[in-house]
């Protein structure tokens, strides 16, 4: 079986943050003392070198299509450190021309002032976790910034355009503890007023092993959540934002290329504590892998944690679990190219989905409907049958 290899991205995980938020289930660790920045960067580079050797046949002639530096709070690292990391990565594997390099940042003023430095270091896009502008909600969410700092951070991002920053994103959450429809929409209006090129607007969900899971707050009911989404979506659309993914809106030409590669079943190398990656071989194998979660183990040089082959029968579910997050049509040829399977394999499921009005179909594409979005879990479960 032959596969056409998709674009190859790189995810870099920096695990430290100032304090752990009660809703966060990411692999993050509250900062205790001085962060070992230089040492960790050397481990990231050693981790990458190991992967480039281990996956040499799979990588082939591919260049890095996009980079995403996530966390934790990557903006706790200096601009000099990020610059050194990026230049050393480029010595090991070439970059596509004009690739997008995203860095997640805390809106706190101390980090925001570094935005010009990050841009000069090669970062082209900054993603800020603002979450809310309301003091009470920020406190409940465990955020360390206030509304004024968040707005100041946006100004810093706008000013960093002169140093090469091409875009920025703000994250906002809705469905927060004791949040009314009016409060949620007010948060969104303040976010829109800042005119970010990209806005991620997602509903708070309670995840296992988080503080909110053990002490569950009172959240808006389903009717209120629907009102928030419906009215918020209208506000975003009227302001010139286009929804291209379940929780992502952007101005024209400012979609996050790294996330698009995830959802289009692209490949991505992954380095850093608890990072997850995916790699395809031209001979037909596709693997998912992960790295050691805890900084102590990782910084002993124990990078690889798990590696698992995606079985042929699991590939339709894996592909559509990602692809149906996007609102764009799914080319049938991409399913065949990136999974190595014939479109005939999923025809019975697609015929059923058509009857349910979960998708529409042409000779070349499948397209999830708005109705299908509401029953996405039921649709995806069919691919497991």
- The CATH number linked to 227 is 3.20.20.70
Mean pLDDT of 111-124: 89
273 within a domain of the structure (yes/no): no
Mean pLDDT of 287-306: 95
Name the band, by pLDDT with cuts 50, 70 and 90, for residue 385. Answer: confident
**Residue 334 is part of which domain span?**
330-384
Least-confidence region, from 9-13, 169-173, 373-377: 373-377
pLDDT of residue 17: 77
Q: Is the pLDDT of residue 169 over 90?
A: yes
99 & 209 share domain: yes
Mean pLDDT of 24-39: 73
Higher pLDDT, 356 or 213: 356
Q: Tell me the sheet residues that pair with 276.
A: 290
277 within a domain of the structure (yes/no): no
Provide the sign of the torsion angle of the four alpha carbons 176, 180, 181, 187, taken in this order. negative
Q: Tell me the sheet residues that pair with 8.
A: 64, 267
- Hunting for tokens 């002169």 — which residue is that? 162
304 within a domain of the structure (yes/no): no
374 within a domain of the structure (yes/no): yes
241 & 353 share domain: no
248 & 340 share domain: no
pLDDT of residue 324: 94
H-helix segments, 141-207 = 147-159, 181-193
Q: Is the pLDDT of residue 206 over 90?
A: no
Choosing from 261, 289, 308, the residue where a domain stops is 261
pLDDT of residue 219: 77
283 within a domain of the structure (yes/no): no
274 within a domain of the structure (yes/no): no
Mean pLDDT of 99-128: 89
Choosing from 229, 261, 293, the residue where a domain stops is 261
CA 75 to chain centre: 16
308 within a domain of the structure (yes/no): no
Q: Is the pLDDT of residue 177 over 90?
A: no
pLDDT of residue 47: 98
Name the band, by pLDDT with cuts 50, 70 and 90, for residue 204. Answer: confident
31 within a domain of the structure (yes/no): yes
Mean pLDDT of 239-256: 96
179 & 84 share domain: yes
46: left (phi over 0), alpha (psi -120 to 50) or beta: alpha
Name the band, by pLDDT with cuts 50, 70 and 90, for residue 40. Answer: very high
117 & 215 share domain: yes
Q: Is the pLDDT of residue 34 over 90?
A: no
Higher pLDDT, 154 or 17: 154
Burial track 293-304 (b if 16+ CB lie within 10 A, e otherwise) = bebeebbeeebe
Query: Per the structure block, which two tokens stand in for 200?
Result: 């991620």
Mean pLDDT of 190-218: 83
Choosing from 261, 287, 305, the residue where a domain stops is 261
242 & 335 share domain: no
Q: Nearest 5°: phi and psi at 330?
A: -105, 110
pLDDT of residue 313: 95
Least-confidence region, from 98-112, 233-247, 305-319: 98-112
Closest by alpha carbon to 153, among 116, 115, 112?
112
Q: Give the separation between CA 234 and CA 230, rounded to whole angstroms.
A: 6
pLDDT of residue 339: 97
Mean pLDDT of 269-281: 97
Mean pLDDT of 164-179: 92
155 & 12 share domain: yes
37 & 159 share domain: yes
108 & 250 share domain: yes
State the total domains in the chain: 2
Closest by alpha carbon to 20, among 70, 56, 71?
71
pLDDT of residue 109: 54
- Hunting for tokens 């992954």 — which residue is that? 270
- Hunting for tokens 């590669």 — which residue is that? 261
- Hunting for tokens 């040089």 — which residue is that? 301
- Hunting for tokens 């009227």 — which residue is that? 238
89 & 220 share domain: yes
Q: Give the separation between CA 113 and CA 149, rounded to whole angstroms.
A: 11
Between the alpha carbon of residue 319 and those of residues 132, 150, 292, 297, 315, the distances in Å are 33, 36, 25, 32, 6
82 & 216 share domain: yes
pLDDT of residue 374: 86
138 & 23 share domain: yes
377 Cβ neighbours under 8 A, 6+ residues apart: none
């Amino acid at each position: 079986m032959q596969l056409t290899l998709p674009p190859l991205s790189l995810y870099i995980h920096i695990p430290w943050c100032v304090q752990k938020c009660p809703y966060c289930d990411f692999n993050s660790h509250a900062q205790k003392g001085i962060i070992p920045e230089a040492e960790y960067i050397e481990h990231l580079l050693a981790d990458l070198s190991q992967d480039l050797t281990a996956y040499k046949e799979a990588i082939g002639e591919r260049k890095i299509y996009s980079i995403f530096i996530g966390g934790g709070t990557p903006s706790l690292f200096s601009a000099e450190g990020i610059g050194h990391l990026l230049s050393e990565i480029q010595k090991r594997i070439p970059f596509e021309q004009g690739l997008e390099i995203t860095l997640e940042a805390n809106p706190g003023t101390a980090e925001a002032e570094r935005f010009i430095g990050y841009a000069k270091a090669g970062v082209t896009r900054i993603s800020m976790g603002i979450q809310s502008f309301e003091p009470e909600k920020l406190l409940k969410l465990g955020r360390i910034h206030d509304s004024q700092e968040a707005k100041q951070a946006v100004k810093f991002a706008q000013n960093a355009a002169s140093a090469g920053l091409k875009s920025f994103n703000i994250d906002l959450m809705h469905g927060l503890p004791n949040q009314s429809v009016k409060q949620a929409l007010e948060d969104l209006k303040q976010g829109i007023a800042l005119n970010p090129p990209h806005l991620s607007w997602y509903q708070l969900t309670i995840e296992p092993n988080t503080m909110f899971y053990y002490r569950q707050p009172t959240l808006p009911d389903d009717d209120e959540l629907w009102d928030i989404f419906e009215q918020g979506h209208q506000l975003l659309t009227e302001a010139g934002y286009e929804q291209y993914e379940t929780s992502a809106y952007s101005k024209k030409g400012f979609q996050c290329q790294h996330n698009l590669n995830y959802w289009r079943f692209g490949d991505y190398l992954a380095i850093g504590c608890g990072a997850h990656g995916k790699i395809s071989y031209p001979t037909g194998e596709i693997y998912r892998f992960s790295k050691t979660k805890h900084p102590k183990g990782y910084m002993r040089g124990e990078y690889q944690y798990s590696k698992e082959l995606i079985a042929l029968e699991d590939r339709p579910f894996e592909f559509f679990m990602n692809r149906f997050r996007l609102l764009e049509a799914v080319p049938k040829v991409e399913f065949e190219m990136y999974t190595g399977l014939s479109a005939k394999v999923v025809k019975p499921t697609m015929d059923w989905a058509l009857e349910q009005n979960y998708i529409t179909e042409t000779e070349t594409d499948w397209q999830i409907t708005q109705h299908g979005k509401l029953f996405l879990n039921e649709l995806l479960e069919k691919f497991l049958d």
